[in-house]
Structure 1
Amino acid sequence: MNQSASGFLLIGLFSLLCACTLFESSAEKVSQQQLLERMAAQEEMLILDVRTPGEYSEGYIGNAINIDHREIEERLAEITAFKNKPVIVYCYSGMRAGMVEAKLIEHGFTQVQHLDGDWSAWQDAGLASTKPK
């Protein structure tokens, strides 16, 4: 690889890293183990899967509800009962969840949390998932 191509590759990687950090929110991280414990204790919380309906149909965590990240603003009324309760958000790898978390916080949700590792880590760990009927 010549020096020019290496430079473009580094600039591209740097841009990608910067773009990902733009979508990080101030949401607290929740580990897989913590979420499993909270689910077992039947804690009142909302598990919010912000992947596409197609991704969701392939499997999701526990009793997560699906609101596509692109529709969150239009569908906030569906989840306002959780405005002051824990809302654990995940997507496939974190970027879409970060965007939604920022929106939820902007709209006054007070206990927005992020599932550390998102769906990809959940699957990699071989943890239980549900499929729609």
Structure 2
Amino acid sequence: MTCPTNTTPTGARLRRPAALDAQAVQDWLTATDGPRLLDVRSPAEFTTAHIPGSYNVPLDLLREHATELRTHLGDDVVLVCRSGARAAQAETVLATTGLENLHVLAGGITAWEAVGGPLTRGAQTWELERQVRLVAGSIVLAGVLTSTVVPWTKWISAGIGAGLTGAAVTNSCAMGMLLSKLPYNRRNALELAAVLRDLRDDL
């Protein structure tokens, strides 16, 4: 299989990344010009299972320090998350810094595992999307049940429903971002300086 390229026939860099399927990324990683993998999930999710050789740069850290990261990402970069949604957000953020060598692992870790891609596993933690479903579902259920006694609480459930609808439309999730900041999800978190050092040392 021909390795993906980030140049046009004239040699100019493409400004937008390609969405690469898991098999294409696996093949590319075996090539001499293999990409760097940036996993933008929470530190706890990363510890649970990640692609060997990938770097953990949580989405909130990436958003805050995209400019600093930009100077350490000279090679092709594949962005990884659980399903591809957070990776797409990370791509949008990094693209604003002028990076043109970005790609997204379509389907994320889920797709990678489905094709038999290797994973380094550690302490098991619920994925952020699963945590969102638990919290949102619990609030909706509590709001509906409570509304039989206190009618106005039904609007709490309505608010959660509106939030989930907005999350789908904008391909973002405010609740997920809030949950990612909990100590449970920040176990084994790296400071920015450590992330930059690892990226620099691997150049």
TM-score (norm 2): 0.48
* Counterpart mapping for 1:1-133 below 5 A: 26-76=16-66, 77-78=68-69, 80-83=71-74, 85-131=75-121
Kept after mapping to 2: 8 A contact 1:67/1:75: no
Kept after mapping to 1: 8 A contact 2:80/2:109: yes
In the superposition, relative to structure 1, how do residues 98 and 92 fare at CA in structure 2: closer, same or farther (>3 Å)? same
Secondary structure of residue in 1 paired with 2:120: coil
CA-to-aligned-CA distance 1:61-109 (integer Å, 9 cap, x gap): 12110011011033442452324x2110011112211111000100111
Gaps of 5+ in 2: 1-15, 123-203
CA-to-aligned-CA distance 1:103-125 (integer Å, 9 cap, x gap): 01001111110111111111222
In the superposition, relative to structure 1, how do residues 42 and 75 fare at CA in structure 2: closer, same or farther (>3 Å)? farther
Partners of 2:65 and 2:121 in 1: CA distance: 22
CA-to-aligned-CA distance 1:22-58 (integer Å, 9 cap, x gap): xxxx431112222112211242522010000000001
RMSD: 2.1
In the superposition, relative to structure 1, how do residues 122 and 44 fare at CA in structure 2: closer, same or farther (>3 Å)? closer
Give the length in aligned residue pairs. Answer: 107
